[in-house]
A and B are shown apart, each in its own frame.
Chain A
Amino acid sequence: MRTSGIEKYFGRNHVLRGIDLEVRRREAVMVIGRSGSGKTTLLRCINFLEEPTSGWVEVDGLRVEADPLHARSRRHREQIRQIRLRAGMLFQEFNLFPHMSVVQNLIEAPTRVRGLPRDAALELAERYLEKVGLLDKRNEYPARLSGGQKQRAAIARALCMEPKVLLFDEPTSALDPELIGEVLNVMEDLAHEGVTMIVVTHEMHFAREAADRVVFMEDGVILEQGPPEQVLNDPHREETRNFLRRFLQT
């Protein structure tokens, strides 16, 4: 997966100032940085939930140019859809569909979007529910799940689309502290199994354990990246050091 020269303006506000990021197959990349540094926007630009102002995104051989002036054209929208099929997204607020049971949440997109027969989709759903440890909750409605269970179900839902890369947008920020661990465990397992992922996170300990590479962002640019030990223990940049120091204090 690659991005090149991603720029994003919100009105006149320059949020991303040219992001080049390459993620190799089976790599787990953690993006850290202050809030407002553009981490989340970058993630949302990769699957075009925000249309970048310029630059391009390439996932698994499909390259889509930012095209804010023609964002509504049919061709562009179809291309974006193809990118989204390759890049699954997890949200801070889980966003399970409350009117569907867990298993319905999981098979909705595979049957409608990928055109899988129901049986095959159910089989897939059960496999991934088992992986995230929620097989016994398959018929529950999201309202009856804890936050951690919801996020694990959302991960299973994304996996059911068998994407090439998973994008995690602060997946544990809305969770009570005692529920964070179960979600991070699932993510760590996925990382070790070689699922390609980009994770925006504030969990430094998790980044250290599960990341192949840590990316530090500030003011809409990537300031520093490298192996977790290097970036987290011995950062080259003053800004990274400041961020980590302030972060560990609080």
Chain B
Amino acid sequence: MAVGELSEKRPTRYEIEDVEAADRRSRWRFRILFAVVWLGLIIGLAVGLALTGRIDPAFILEVGPFILDGTPTTLLICFSSILLACVLATLGALGRLSGNPVLNAIASFYVSLLRGTPLVVQILFWYLALPQFGVVLDALPAGIGALAFNYGAYMTEIFRAGVEAVPRGQQEAARALGMRESEVMRRIVFPQALRIVTPAIGNEFIAMIKDSALVYLLGVREVLWRADVMGTRFFRSTETLLIAAVVYWILTIVLSFFQERLERRMARGDR
């Protein structure tokens, strides 16, 4: 073995195996301490809250299931909104990359308008103002539409940057092989752009989970709405908001975990 030969020829002060073992030990020490601190902080937070005497565990157990039942609705909102947002962002990015001034202006206007106004205003507008123009939507589709259009605007810019990040030489090589412009885009540029933007889409999705709480304003029976209803009914908003916060937090942790794995898999792939 090369390593063995090396250490035979040039004796060092330490055996290579010992150095490796020390490295491993220090990595493990880091991990363990890291986990201990996390656990400590969580327990500390829980104990701290309990010591205030304002938290009633029995009440939490009582209203917990009702609030948790909002999770599927929250996830439904997020998944449908992000899907629709991806479609909108694809169209938007095509517009922003287009040489056609009309399409480009429309896409640019869309991005500017929806990024330039508060999400809350947009959500209320979809539900409360659109009916004035004859478009009456239920709370759930109105909320999904508002989130999707808003995120679609942000993701338009992400998708556009993704396409622009594909090295120029890729297009040139494809063209030099005689491919038509549409083939160059479809077969060479977009597949690579998709890989580039996947981590960013993951981030948007995680952000969406938290922003989806805003549709409680429309009375959609998702996590925050249920927490608010219970909190107001029993005048115990501390507990119900805590439950809601924990639900969102856990959802984002789970999703971050999947996102990290996806990213690692794509990094291992082919670049």
Contacts and interface: CB of A to CB of B under 8 A. Distances in A.
Interface of A: 47, 49, 77, 81, 84-85, 88-89, 91, 93, 95-99, 108-109, 112-114, 141-143, 154, 157-158, 161
A95 B187 contact: no
Given A93-B169, A97-B170, A141-B270, A49 B187 contact: no
A99 B173 contact: no
A161 to B, nearest CB: 6
B201 interface: no
A207 B142 CA distance: 69
Contact of A85 (B172, B178, B187, B195): B178
Interface string B174-190: 11111111010001100
Interface residues of B, number: 22
Interface string B154-183: 000000000000010110111111111101
A124 to B, nearest CB: 14
B178 A113 contact: yes
For the residues of B in contact with A, the DSSP-based class is helix
B270 A109 contact: no
A112 B187 contact: yes
Contacts of A49: 172, 175-176
B13 interface: no
Contacts of B179: 109, 112-113
Contact of A84 (B167, B176, B181, B270): B176
Q: Which of A96, A99, A113 has the most CB of B within 10 A?
A: A99
Given A97-B188, A98-B270, A99-B191, A109 B178 contact: yes
Nearest to B172: A49
Contacts of A81: 178, 180
B178 A84 contact: yes
B270 A95 contact: no
A108 to B, nearest CB: 7
A157 B270 contact: no
B252 interface: no
28 contacts: A49-B172, A49-B175, A49-B176, A84-B175, A84-B176, A84-B178, A89-B172, A91-B169, A91-B173, A93-B169, A95-B167, A95-B170, A95-B172, A97-B173, A97-B192, A108-B177, A109-B177, A109-B179, A113-B177, A113-B178, A114-B178, A141-B269, A143-B270, A143-B271, A154-B173, A158-B177, A161-B177, A161-B178
